[in-house]
A and B are shown apart, each in its own frame.
Chain A
Amino acid sequence: AQKITQTQPGMFVQEKEAVTLDCTYDTSDQSYGLFWYKQPSSGEMIFLIYQGSYDEQNATEGRYSLNFQKARKSANLVISASQLGDSAMYFCAMSSNQGAQKLVFGQGTRLTINP
């Protein structure tokens, strides 16, 4: 079975600083995908970034980058130059790479950006 662990229930960061949100995972699959989603207070889940288990380079999408360390089974999200609008819940998730995905989510981290 797959499992995602996010050990930071809450994070408080000053605006314009970089922030790292931790995510570790457990799976016996050889091929899998790792995802990060943002959930503002309005409730929608917004896809941020994806990392495939066989991707050799860390994924980047604008201010978001994924620090993928396969041997340590970690997939931390790094947000550079944080903005007030980044305040939200952040969820790490994973799925096996076979057909329709069964995403398994972590508990989430609530990120608050202070002005």
Chain B
Amino acid sequence: ETGVTQTPRHLVMGMTNKKSLKCEQHLGHNAMYWYKQSAKKPLELMFVYNFKEQTENNSVPSRFSPECPNSSHLFLHLHTLQPEDSALYLCASSQDVGQRPGPQHFGDGTRLSIL
């Protein structure tokens, strides 16, 4: 059982819908991440949260809105998405250990399809 849980596993939505992806980590980590994995492209970092504060927004369009209410939970709110946003969205967490970072632990991902 993974220490990082993502729901839902699959999501199909229209371009005008609003939905949210949820990520929960049970590892006691203080940093959480959202990644996008499109077909035939490397994983792309979207957002980074460290101790609930957003520290990185990698030029992500505003139709993606992250929320981190506490160090264990991370959401990605989706609104008015485009077909090119169809991808696997992966959540990860890690322990911020300064000069020697621990590995990021990933969830199983949410496979998102935009109609």
Contacts and interface: CB of A to CB of B under 8 A. Distances in A.
Interface string B85-115: 0001010101010111101111111010000
Contacts, number: 74
Contacts of A107: 41-42
A103 B48 CA distance: 10
Q: B interface, how many residues as a size bin?
A: 20 to 34
A103 B2 contact: no
Interface of B: 2, 31, 33, 41-43, 45, 48-50, 55-56, 88, 90, 92, 94, 96, 98-101, 103-109, 111
Contact of B48 (A44, A47, A100): A100
A4 B45 CA distance: 14
Given A43-B108, A47-B104, A101-B31, A31 B94 contact: no
9 contacts: A42-B108, A91-B43, A97-B98, A99-B96, A100-B56, A100-B96, A101-B31, A102-B56, A108-B42
Contacts of B41: 107
Nearest to B90: A45
A107 B103 CA distance: 19
Contacts of B42: 4, 91, 104-108
B4 to A, nearest CB: 9
Given A43-B90, A47-B105, A103-B43, 19 more contacts: A4-B42, A33-B100, A33-B101, A43-B111, A44-B107, A45-B43, A52-B100, A91-B43, A95-B101, A97-B100, A98-B98, A99-B55, A99-B96, A100-B31, A100-B50, A101-B48, A104-B42, A105-B42, A106-B42
